[in-house]
Structure 1
Amino acid sequence: MSTARNFDSLSVEEYLAGELESDIKYEYVNGRVYAMAGGKNLHHRIASRALVALAVKLGDSECEAYNSDAKVRVQIQAKTYFYYPDAMVVCESNPDDDTYQDRPVVIVEVISESTRRIDEGEKADHYLSIPSLQAYVLLEQSVAAARVLQRNDNGQFEESVFTQPDSVITIDALDLQLPLREIYAGIAFATEPGSA
């Protein structure tokens, strides 16, 4: 989703208290808040299918899939960030009274041309700094494709790209497979600019 910038600087406590009262979701970037703009139906369809696929495949494991109403906190040195991923998997949850998660294992973002810069740049850098994170999945909005950054045995992130209809994303840490066909089921894409 794209964001509209708000230049008011807030403490973490002010931000979290305000979020409880607000009808609008805001992301928090080291004191700055950004109102989340609404996404297109296509974005929501892809994100919902990814969430359902994750939840079904997790079954009755100790891990749970969270939707885009759950935010993740990222702390880098003395800076704090809160983002609303399109979906995430958490195996070690914060207390139920918290309004965010600290230890996601998988984060999913649906990207479009308007969100690509932040999802592949700032958010990727921040998400990949989370010690618990094993995979960052970027799902394309305009075509059935995914880019996955996955932590290897040495603790480094390796990139895999999935572009074929029969491609299957494997999240090694969870022994979980996500076929692109399930995520993009029933979605027709325009093949050329201007086509419907």
Structure 2
Amino acid sequence: MMQTTTQVTHEEYFDLLAKSDVKLEYHAGEILAMAGAQPAHNRLCITLSTALENCLSDGECMVLNSDQLIKILECDKYTFPDVVVVCRKPVYEKSPQGINALENPVIIIEVLSDSTEKYDRLEKFDCYKTIPSFNEYVLVSSKKKRVEVIKKLNESEWLSHTYTEKDEYVLIGDCSISLEKIYNKVELPDIKSIGF
């Protein structure tokens, strides 16, 4: 991620975003350019989106990919999560540039990388928690078969469950998804060769 040093307004951000070839996130006056992702990351986004779409296609929820901008009012942020589920009627903040930022995500999924994991787990999660509709956060490892699902119990409590290769299925929302399907054709690093 590359960060700007000058403060920009929301309007300036949307002007830049409309003209940009890369995804730009807005963090309280600063703009961060999102780096391209690795193949394992990209593949996991596809397998998760497909599995969730297959599960949710007949209900009131829908799946949106990483091109969907999310507005986090309390933190003055606009972000691009990897996968988002919204239920009932989506609510969007519409910019003059024609970019719609979703305001009511229910489930947010982030595929973790070395450069973003700490931010995704801490600061980003703290901001996502301020969105009233948000009630489930899913963190997916791109290094090993590991999916962490964090569900909202009430305003101050969240329950975390970690699924590993010992588990056959992962429960995301009301969807029971095979761990093998999530990691289908995902090339994970050889643990021995990276010194673990």
Same fold by TM-score greater than 0.5: yes
Pairwise CA distance, 1:147: 1.1
Confirm or deny: 8 A CA contact 1:10 1:32 kept in the other structure: yes
Change beyond 3 A, Cα 1:39–1:188:
closer
Cα distance in 2 for residues equivalent to 1:20 and 1:98? 8
Secondary structure at 1:193's aligned position in 2?
helix
Larger mean CA deviation between 28-37 and 124-133 belongs to: 124-133
CA deviation string 1:110-129 (max 9, x = no partner): 00222111111111111122
Q: Corresponding residue for 1:85?
A: 81
Q: Is 1:160–2:161 an aligned residue pair?
A: yes
Q: Residue 53 of structure 1 aligns to a residue in which SS?
A: helix
Contact kept? 1:145, 1:164, Cα under 8 Å: yes
Q: Which amino acid counterpart does residue 160 of structure 2 have in structure 1?
A: E
Partner of 1:177: 176
| Counterpart-to-counterpart distance in 1, 2:99 and 2:19 | 15
Cross-structure match for 2:101 = 100
- Per-residue deviation at 1:165? 4.8
| SS of corresponding position for 1:114 | coil
Q: Considering only aligned residues, what root-mean-square deviation do their CA atoms show, in Å?
A: 1.8
For structure 1, which runs of at least 5 residues remain unmatched after alignment? none
1:6-155 matches, cutoff 5 A: 6-76=4-74, 79-91=75-87, 92-95=89-92, 98-152=99-153, 154-155=154-155
Moved runs in structure 1, 4+ residues, more than 4 A?
A: 95-98
How many residue pairs get aligned? The number is 188
- CA distance in 2 between counterparts of 1:167 and 1:89 reads 22
- CA deviations over 1:142-185 (Å, ceiling 9, x no partner): 00101111012x342111111125342223xx422222211101
Return the alpha-carbon distance in structure 2 between the equivalents of residues 18 and 94 of structure 1: 23
8 A contact 2:40–2:187 mirrored in 1:
no
How far 1:28 moved relative to its partner? 0.6
SS at match of 1:108: strand
Question: Bigger CA drift: 51-60 or 29-38?
Answer: 51-60
- Compute the displacement of 1:186 (Å): 2.2
Q: Which residue is 1:192 aligned to?
A: 192
SS at match of 2:18: helix
How many angstroms apart in 2 are the aligned matches of 1:60 and 1:13?
A: 37
Q: Which whole-Å CA distance do the structure 2 matches of 1:179 and 1:129 have between them?
A: 30
The alignment's TM-score, normalised by the length of structure 1, stands at 0.88
**Aligned-partner residue type, residue 6 of structure 2:** D
How far the C-alpha of 1:10 sits from its partner, in A, is 1.2
* Separation in structure 2 between the aligned mates of residue 42 and residue 170 of structure 1, nearest angstrom: 21
Confirm or deny: 8 A CA contact 1:144 1:163 kept in the other structure.
yes
The answer as to whether partners of 1:165 and 1:181 remain within 8 angstroms in 2 is: no
- Structure 2 residue runs without a partner (length 5+): none
